[in-house]
Amino acid sequence: MSRLKIAAGNWKMNKELEEALDITRTLANSSRPTDVLTILGAPYPFLKSLVDQTLYVDHLDIAAQNCHHKVSGAYTGEVSVDMLDSLGVQYVIVGHSERREYFSETDDMLAEKVNLLLAKQMIPIFCCGEPLEIRKAGNHESHVGSQVSNALFHLSPEQMKEIIIAYEPIWAIGTGETASPEQAQEMHASIRDLIKDQYGSEISEMIPILYGGSVKPSNAKEIFSQPDVDGGLVGGASLKADDFLEIIHSF
């Protein structure tokens, strides 16, 4: 079964509006493979402008980098799923390692976010991954498996089909350690096997699993060639249109 190929960018807390519009305009006007979906994870203030800019552009969509886990209420400064839906946002990054670490997001909170998004027919890009101490202890598969099962395995088979998963080797980002394409494949296969055990092979083979470990033009082709790697959640390289285009073309 052929799975969707995805090049997703996570801009994090970077860029100003005109810069964001310029990157998006460049991507929209450039030749891109028709079998690759490009998603731009933009900061909240830019979302409406970028959604409008890409409304009639094929294979180019906008994602929010987060959402709140409650429907509404006295949560000053937070952004709800309904707010994002009203802007036309289709994708939302959920459970990024920085959200887990800096903002103490739990598996239960992430499950709530996933539920709210699916109820609005929006697609979660669910992040999982292990820090260096877990990798060195050899507990990486069980650690990531717990993240996936705790936050997602309450879903029905039909709901699970809508999920995109992004695996982040946190230990290989800014640590001086390097994750090989083989290590990426090992973890992606482990996640897919876990889903297969819970939901069966048909669903496990449908779900795109993206790699989020410092993808750049120089390594994207080798990483994306791994059989269970369906694309990337790209950080720094997505902030430069030319670099991101090279990654998009590397499938």
Active site residues per annotation = 96, 168
Tell me the backbone φ, ψ of residue 77, rounded to 5 degrees: 85, -5
CB 165 within 8 A of CB 207: yes
Q: Can you tell me the distance from the alpha carbon of 160 to that of 153, in angstroms, rounded to the nearest whole number? A: 8
Listed residue (7, 10, 19, 20) closest to 50, CA to CA: 20
Q: Can you tell me the distance from the alpha carbon of 164 to that of 4, in angstroms, rounded to the nearest whole number? A: 10
Q: Can you tell me the distance from the alpha carbon of 191 to that of 246, in angstroms, rounded to the nearest whole number? A: 27
Listed residue (247, 249, 223) closest to 235, CA to CA: 247
Q: Can you tell me the distance from the alpha carbon of 130 to that of 94, in angstroms, rounded to the nearest whole number? A: 16
Q: Where are the beta strands (DSSP E) in the chain?
A: 5-10, 36-42, 60-64, 91-94, 123-128, 164-167, 209-211, 231-234
Question: What residues are paired with 233 via a beta bridge?
Answer: 8
Listed residue (217, 247, 246, 241) closest to 21, CA to CA: 241
